[in-house]
Amino acid sequence: MGVTVTGLDELIGDLEALDERLAAAAPKVVSKGALHIKTAWRRRWTPISPDPATHAPHLARGVGYDTARRGTSFSAEIGVSPLNPQAALAHFAEYGSLKNRPYPGGLPSLLEEAPRFAQAAADMAVDLLEGR
């Protein structure tokens, strides 16, 4: 009785190459998702710029993102840059105050992007596993 296995070397080679292909593909997916969130957040905050009650014309322009990689983990941080001259006012715009209504931008933008990001990550995984 014996067993013959064929194609195992090819499979091992594909799995070893997966790290390199993931390192090339994942940052693009993460960056695109972060860009969509940033754009939606800016769009949501743009109407507050001319609102005399908020006095925060620079907030919408200050929303940005940074991406990072640690080993095989890829992430993005999206929010108001601390270098923005009105960064200290961001929490008032997002959550409101006693006298001003909130203009939520971050969480709604994240929730809007979540299904698209999940689909993009799934598509990337399928492409990688199929060797595309």
Q: What is the pLDDT of residue 35?
A: 97
In the block, tokens 């993005």 appear at 76
Is the pLDDT assigned to residue 13 strictly greater than 70? no
Is the pLDDT assigned to residue 115 strictly greater than 90? yes
Q: What is the pLDDT of residue 110?
A: 94
User: What tens digit of pLDDT does each residue of 66-114 get?
Assistant: 999 887 788 999 999 999 888 888 888 889 888 888 889 999 999 999 9
Looking at the chain, list the stretches that DSSP marks H as alpha helix, in order from N- to C-terminal side: 8-45, 90-95, 106-129
Q: Is 2 inside a domain boundary?
A: no
Domain that holds residue 74: 9-129
45: which residues sit within 8 A by CB, 6+ positions away? 59, 60, 63, 93, 103, 105
Q: Is 78 inside a domain boundary?
A: yes
User: What tens digit of pLDDT does each residue of 20-32 get?
Assistant: 778 888 899 999 9
Q: Is 4 inside a domain boundary?
A: no
Q: What is the pLDDT of residue 37?
A: 96
Q: Is 29 inside a domain boundary?
A: yes
Q: Is 64 inside a domain boundary?
A: yes
Number of domains into which the chain is organized: 1
Q: Is 52 inside a domain boundary?
A: yes
Q: Is 91 inside a domain boundary?
A: yes
Q: Which residues pair with 77 in a beta bridge?
A: 66
* pTM (predicted TM-score): 0.80
Q: Is 1 inside a domain boundary?
A: no
